[in-house]
Amino acid sequence: MATKQSNQFEVPETMKAWVLGDPDELKQIEKPVPEPGDAEVLVRIDAIAVCATDLEILENGLPAMVEGENPFNKDFILGHEYMGTVVKQGPNVDEYDVGDRVTVEVHAGCGRCPRCREGMYTSCLNYGLRSKGHRANGFSTDGGFTEYAVNNINTLVHVPDDMSDEEATLVVTAGTAMYGLDVMGGLIAGEGVVITGPGPIGLMGVAVAKAMGAGPVILTGTRDNRLEMGKQLGADHVVNVRNEDAVEAIQRITGGKGVQYVLECSGAANAMNEAAKMVNRGGRICLAAFPSEPVPVDLAYLVRNNIYVFGIRGEGKSATHRAAAFMAQKRFDAKIIHTHTFGLDEVPTAIKYAKERIDDAIKVVVKMRDEEAA
């Protein structure tokens, strides 16, 4: 079967792309529109959200790597939280049709290593090896601050007609929170969950935990406006740790019992030790954020209390599909965390808003076209 492309979408030869120059430098260039290969489609990008990791890559390069090297001055396109429309199928692709609206996961594992076989494709042992089939768009292969991107069909999730482009960009964030709850055991209905840190993943963690039936769901943080959003997304209790000791607050709310699970999304230096005091014996902690420096941890406390600690990378085990299902069923309103929208020519401004949290920005979305013109 040859590469299929309907006349419905005319694909140009080149596209506008924001690429990484030197550290903290983004420049717009023209790049050739990529060709989808086996098991791949070409996605016309309709919207993309700015992620804190994009800001990190822009400044430090890591965690992005291009062919095993730092990604500066390699015409590398960053951005990974995008959605769009399938405009071209690679050879033998029939899983998605031209015209399908899709949102994407970041990681297409190689599909041939032991981790991929277990569904842990975000921990692929051939990470970064394009020759083995691995892709992590916006990390090791070109991402979404552009007009078109190639995606493996395994990274696609259908977007329902009544979900906006902006909301669809948030699916992968909700999927990351879902993956964190999955790795801790997943069966959280009726169990207490604390989410520490009301960033995008933390706020989606609240929403997903609530949708999965957890109770109580408790959110801790330092900014009242974000904690208020947490309430709208389903938090039973919120704690501003500027006003009250976080551990004491959890003990107060749970009548001294603690909770079964903590999803750590703050990256604060003391977060791990506090999480250990929030869970009860045998409790589970998932680290979805991390401090920028090594920090001391009271390991003896963890061992004596049989506390399990997990780390997650990205959105493995098809968690994105489960999060997308909750959003399609309108179990929570992810749109609450979308605060600002810019156009493709305004990517540096969009990034500035996200970085400096101008006007209380949380999720800043770049939208490629007006709805009417779509």
Stretch that binds Zn ion, among 85-93, 107-115, 144-152, 162-170 (CB under 5 A): 107-115
* List 20, 45, 77, 116, residue binding Zn ion (CB under 5 A): 116
One of 43, 66, 86, 110 touching Zn ion (CB under 5 A): 110
- Asked if 219 and 249 touch (Cβ cutoff 8 Å), the reply is no
Distance of alpha carbon 54 from alpha carbon 44, whole angstroms:
20
Residue among 28, 29, 20 at smallest CA distance from 60: 20
Q: How far is the CB of 362 from Zn ion (least distance, A)?
A: 13
Q: Return the number of the residue (137 or 196) whose C-beta is nearest Zn ion.
A: 137
Min. distance of Cβ 242 from Zn ion in angstroms? 27
Considering the complex, what minimum distance in angstroms separates the CB of residue 251 from Zn ion?
Answer: 33
Sequence-separated (6 or more) residues with CB below 8 Å from residue 142: 17, 31, 34, 76, 77, 149, 150
Q: How far is the CB of 79 from Zn ion (least distance, A)?
A: 9
8 A C-beta contact, residue 285 and residue 260: no
Beta carbon of residue 156, minimum distance to Zn ion (angstroms, whole number): 17
Residue 212 sits in the site that holds Zn ion (CB under 5 A) = no
Nearer to Zn ion, 70 or 126 (CB): 126
- Give me 154's structure tokens: 């395994």
CB of 353 to Zn ion, least distance (A): 16
AA letter at 322: R
Q: How far is the CB of 276 from Zn ion (least distance, A)?
A: 27
- SS3 for 328? helix
C-alpha 347/C-alpha 143 separation (Å) is 13
Instruction: Round to whole Å and give the CA distance between 93 and 105.
Output: 18
Rounded alpha-carbon distances, angstroms, from residue 170 to 58, 65, 109, 238, 305: 21, 24, 21, 22, 36
CA dihedral (226, 229, 230, 235) in degrees, to 10, reads: 140
What is the contact mask toward Zn ion in residues 122 to 161, using x (rule: CB under 5 A)?
--x-x-----------------------------------
**Identity of the residue, 18 or 277, whose beta carbon is nearer to Zn ion in the bound complex:** 18
Nearer to Zn ion, 238 or 327 (CB): 327
We find the least distance from the C-beta atom of residue 247 to Zn ion, in angstroms, to be 29
- Of the residues 36, 71, 109, 314, which one makes contact with Zn ion according to CB under 5 A: 109
Is the Cα dihedral 235, 240, 245, 246 positive or negative? Answer: positive
Question: 43 and 149 in contact (C-beta within 8 Å)?
Answer: yes
Q: For residue 27, which of 35, 18, 40, 16 has the smallest C-alpha distance?
A: 18
Segment interacting with Zn ion (CB under 5 A) among 30-38, 106-114, 314-322, 355-363: 106-114
Residue 51 near Zn ion by CB under 5 A:
yes
Residues written for the chain: 374
Binding Zn ion (rule: CB under 5 A), the pick from 47, 66, 113, 285 is: 113
Residue least distant from Zn ion (Cβ):
51
CB of 170 to Zn ion, least distance (A): 10
Q: Is 364 in the site for Zn ion (CB under 5 A)?
A: no
Indicate the residue among 45 and 110 with the shorter CB distance to Zn ion: 110
- Give the residue with the Cβ less far from Zn ion, 89 or 140: 140
Q: Is 20 among the residues that bind Zn ion (CB under 5 A)?
A: no
The alpha carbon of residue 76 and the mean position of all alpha carbons in its chain are separated, in whole angstroms, by: 20
Total interface residues for Zn ion by CB under 5 A: 8
* Chain positions contacting Zn ion, by CB under 5 A: 51, 53, 109-110, 113, 116, 124, 126
